[in-house]
């Protein structure tokens, strides 16, 4: 099949837009995640003699922006799409639910610790006080593209620490001080953390 100059130009533009859309769909979220992880502080805040591991301003800002964008899309559908269609409604409700959950977590989830215990606060379950003596091990876990570090305990389940949290460096130093090594190999550890399977000194 022979294309004219005009058709060749349009085909080139179409291919360019298609490639750009595909790359943007993968690269932009990855770049945003990497930026948020870089902006997270390694040192924990101190509050009433406790170290506090929590989401920083960057993660909170991203959560608010996502939440507002979802509401903007809902309002757009309501104003410019007068017909009730199940798929857009389900999509909008699901997206708002996801970002509402994320917004609650980044604002109200945190872990505090002192010499005796860890204090876990979550909007999705009751608060927990876990003595350090009940921490059994520290492991790296992953599901799909999401990775986190988990502290396994004897009676209180697992405490999950995502990569966007501020204060993970302070937590790593405390775990090293207590002789709680990170279990896993270099291929399992989130990239850019500097953590090896034998040590968390450079986390």
Number of Cβ atoms within 10 Å of the Cβ of 71: 14
With respect to residue 14, please indicate whether it lies within any of the assigned structural domains: no
pLDDT of 137 strictly over 80:
yes
| Residue 115 belongs to a domain | yes
Residue 131 has pLDDT above 50, yes or no: yes
Whether 111 is in a domain gets the answer yes
* 6-10, 97-101, 133-137, 140-144, range with greatest mean pLDDT: 133-137
**pLDDT score of 184:** 61
Say which DSSP state 1 is in.
-
Q: Is residue 55 one of the residues assigned to a domain?
A: yes
Q: What CA–CA distance (Å, rounded) separates 48 from 112?
A: 10
| C-alpha to C-alpha distance for 19 and 37, rounded to whole angstroms | 27
Nearest alpha-carbon partner for 62 in 80, 35, 89, 94: 35
Of 25-29, 39-43, 193-197, the poorest mean pLDDT is in 193-197
Q: What is the pLDDT of residue 140?
A: 83
CA distance 50 to 167: 12
pLDDT at res. 156: 86
Joined together, the tokens standing for residue 92 give 């909008």
Assign residue 46 the CATH number of its domain.
2.30.29
Q: Which of 32-36, 171-175, 179-183 has the highest mean pLDDT?
A: 171-175
Average pLDDT of the segment spanning 121-147: 85
What pLDDT is stored for residue 84 in this prediction? 60
pTM for the full model?
Answer: 0.70
pLDDT above 60: residue 185: no
pLDDT of 127 above 80 = yes
- Is pLDDT of 52 > 90? yes
Please report whether residue 125 resides in a domain: yes
The tens digit of pLDDT for each residue in 28-39 reads 667 777 777 788
- Residue-range definition of the domain harbouring residue 118: 40-183
Does residue 196 fall inside a structural domain?
no
Whether residue 48 contacts residue 173, with contact meaning beta carbons closer than 8 Å, is answered with no
Higher pLDDT, 171 or 39: 171
Most confident stretch, 12-26, 59-73, 119-133, 177-191: 119-133
- Residue scoring higher pLDDT (89 or 175): 175
Pinpoint the alpha helices (H) of 40-132: 57-80, 86-108
- Please compute Rg for the chain using Cα positions: 22
How many domains does the chain contain in total?
Answer: 1
CA distance linking residue 49 with residue 164, whole number of Å: 23
Burial (Cβ within 10 Å: 0-12, 13-18, ≥19) of residue 73:
middle
């Amino acid at each position: 099949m022979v294309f004219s100059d005009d058709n060749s130009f349009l085909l080139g533009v179409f291919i360019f837009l298609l490639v750009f859309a595909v790359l943007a769909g993968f690269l932009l979220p990855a770049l945003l995640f990497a930026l948020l992880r870089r902006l997270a502080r390694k040192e924990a805040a101190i509050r009433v003699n406790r170290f506090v591991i929590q989401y920083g301003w960057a993660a909170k800002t991203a959560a608010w922006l996502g939440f507002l964008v979802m509401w903007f899309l809902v309002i757009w559908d309501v104003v410019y799409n007068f017909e009730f269609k199940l798929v857009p409604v389900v999509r909008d409700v699901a997206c708002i639910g996801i970002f509402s959950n994320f917004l609650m977590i980044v604002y109200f989830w945190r872990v505090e610790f002192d010499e005796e215990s860890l204090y876990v606060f979550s909007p999705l379950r009751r608060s927990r006080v876990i003595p350090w003596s009940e921490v059994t091990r520290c492991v790296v876990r992953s599901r799909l593209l999401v990775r986190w570090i988990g502290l396994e305990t004897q009676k209180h389940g697992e405490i999950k620490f995502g990569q966007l949290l501020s204060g993970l460096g302070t937590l790593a130093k405390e775990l090293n001080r207590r002789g709680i090594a990170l279990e896993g190999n270099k291929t399992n550890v989130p990239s850019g953390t500097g953590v090896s399977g034998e040590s968390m000194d450079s986390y």
